[in-house]
Amino acid sequence: MIHIKKITFENKIEMQKCFEIRKDVFVKEQKCDPKDEYEFEEESTHYLLSEKNIPLATARYRKTENGIKMERFAVLKSKRGKGYGIKILKKMILDLSHSKLTKYLHAQVQVVKFYEKVGFKKIGEKFDEVGIMHYKMILE
């Protein structure tokens, strides 16, 4: 059974599970510098998706001067293509549906279509963020 848990930074055990997934995806797989990966943790609301108590995916959001930034979406490489990413994204959108603030994210170029499936639209030009090309996308 799939379970998506909303957690805060104070929940150290669950946060460590999120960090491990992000380390595998962003630091090891995509070669991001850890100093760029782990920031704004305490002010963010985190999500952890598990199946049969095995952590498989994570994401977070935080309030910025531009609205609510949804970010750090990560699914373990061996578990991609099974719908975990869309489940965690939809849960986050549902939880944020009450907010009138703009919901946005910076999507890596290769996953733009994934975000478009749930209503995000590209705005502006492609840009480099930590050595990876992205588009800013807003939820409409």
How confident is the model over 9-22, as pLDDT tens digits?
Answer: 999 999 999 999 99
Q: Which domains does the chain have, with CATH numbers?
A: 2-100 (3.40.630.30)
Q: Which residues contact 46 (CB under 8 A, 6 or more apart)?
A: 6, 7, 8, 9, 14, 15, 18, 58, 59, 60
Does pLDDT of 33 surpass 90?
no
**Verdict on whether the full-model pTM lies above 0.75:** yes
How confident is the model over 35-90, as pLDDT tens digits?
Answer: 888 889 999 999 999 999 999 999 999 999 999 999 999 999 999 999 999 999 99
- Decide which of 77 and 140 is more confident: 77
The two tokens of residue 136 are: 């800013």
